[in-house]
Each structure stands twice: as C-alpha cells, then as structure tokens.
Amino acid sequence: MSLQTLESTWAFEPRAADPTHRHVVGLLGAGIGGSLTPRLHEAEADQLGLSYTYRVIDLDTVGQPAERSAALVRSAADFGYDGLNVTHPSKQLVQDGLDDLSPDARILGAVNTITFHGGKAVGHNTDHLGFIGGFRAGLPAAATNLVVQIGAGGAGAAVAYGLLRAGTRQLVIADIEPGRAEGLAARLAPHFPDSEVSVTRTDSVAPSLRTADGLVNTTPIGMSGHPGLPVDPELLHSGLWVADVIYRPLDTELIRAARDRGCAVLDGGRMVVGQAVAAFELFTGIRPDAERMLASFRAEARS
C-alpha cells in the first residue's frame, strides 16, 4: 500500500482546493529553527504549482513563553494564516486559543495541526495518521495483533491510538513511569472495547516481546543527544517487526540492532512525512504526492 493512502475516512473536512490561493502557514514551537518541515511543505507546493509560504514561529526566537501559545494562535489567525503546525511545548497549550477540536485531537488531548477557515480555528491531530499511514506503506504485510509500545508520552499517545484504530487487538504499553502508561491506557481503552490495552514497566517487557508481532519505540531514546536503546537488544528476534518514531537520526541504534537480528524495520521518516501529508491536505484541500515528499525528506535528513 502506498503512503499516499492514509485513511479512507476523515473525521473533518479539509479546505476546499483553490490553486490560485496564496497559502501562508507556519510551525509553532520552541527550538525549531532547524526543522525540516518548512522545506518539506514548500518543496511539495512548488511541485504542485502552489503559492505557499511556510514560516517558523519559534518561541525562543520571538521571546515568548510557552504559556503565550494560545495568544500566538489567535495572532496568526488575525494575520491571515491558513493554518499552523504545532510542536513541543505547545500541543496542549494552544487549545485555549481554538474554537473547536477534531474528535481525534479531543481524545488524544493534543493538537499538532490548526486550520483557520470560515472564521474558526480548529485543532487536529495528524500524528496518528502519520504513523499508521507510514506503517502500512513501509510494512504492508506486518501483523499487528499483539504490539508492544515503549513510551506513553505525546508521541506514544498518537501511536497507540493509530494502532488501535488500525485493528491491534492486544497493545502493551510500557513506560518508566507506570502511572503515565496507566493514564494513557485508561484514556484510550473505552474507545476500543474490542481491544485489550495493558501496561507494564519498560524493564518488564520480555514476556510480551516473546510472542509479540511488533515493537514500537516512541521515547526519545536513540535520537541525537539521547543515545542508547529503549530495550535490551537480546530481546529482539526475527519474528518481530520493529518501528521507531525518531527521525534524527533515521538509523537509530534500535533500528540497526533490529536489522542485524533479522527484523523487518520501519524508521521514523514515514511518520513525520505522513503527518505532514495530512496537514498539507488540511491546509490546501489538495492531496500531495506522499512518496515524493518522503524522497525529499530523506534527502534533507541525510544531508
């Protein structure tokens, strides 16, 4: 299945397509000066012949505290933006500046995309679409009956939601803070009565991994500045697929260890591109070429 195919049904409607519109969008967050997202969006817009400007609203650069996130959302609307992507630390804080939330964003309690249309600011969450769309494209034959997920933070919530929506019947969420995993499980379980969501500690995943179909890392362990692996590599086996949401670097220590042990692997590039594909469509009403965006992203990420 192509990454172009994300979800056949949307819980919200994207903007009506207008190729003549001058699109202005942005990214709101802290420490985001080096983000690849602006180039990813603008390169695809160029290919589609769209007028599309992507600006960075870095809290550190503009000298604003995170608590001003909601006010900055309103300012963006006043200045004629079509939408915003949102990242740390603003995914929860922007909600006070919104008129409505999509059902997915309401369940997850986090917003990573905002659209300004018809006089309303609406918050969405495309992270779960990004993960599951990338998963289906990168590991199309992989089973998902029993999956072990490491991490229960913001990325973990989106991945867990995506897996359960895609049909995972048994999801084991492991976190170094059991209370965080329990909270996520309690929030998601009522929406998926046909699935079992259980929790454990990160250092207690061995029994589950022996029979699991797959393992997903949603923690920062393995990204630049946070070296290491989230689980003992000796627990990896060839019957297990392994996915990582980290994309800097694309080849994390976990991905390399899993590949060495014969596991099918999925790096974090497809998730970040998948959520960008969904956001681009919300902003413009036009479905971009996801495989082209993925190729563009990989070229930038490896340069």
**pLDDT tens across 41-78, in order?**
999 999 999 999 999 999 999 999 999 999 999 999 99
Residue among 23, 41, 91, 124 flagged as catalytic: 91
pLDDT of residue 107: 94
Dihedral of alpha carbons 152, 112, 213, 194, sign: positive
> Would you say 113 and 83 are in contact if contact means Cβ atoms under 8 Å apart?
yes
The model's pTM is 0.88
> Would you say 240 and 213 are in contact if contact means Cβ atoms under 8 Å apart?
yes
- 111 backbone dihedrals φ, ψ, rounded to 5°: -120, 130
Q: Which residues of the chain have pLDDT under 70?
A: 1-14, 303
Phi-psi region of 262 (alpha: psi -120 to 50; beta: other; left: phi over 0): left
Whether residue 91 lies in the annotated active site: yes
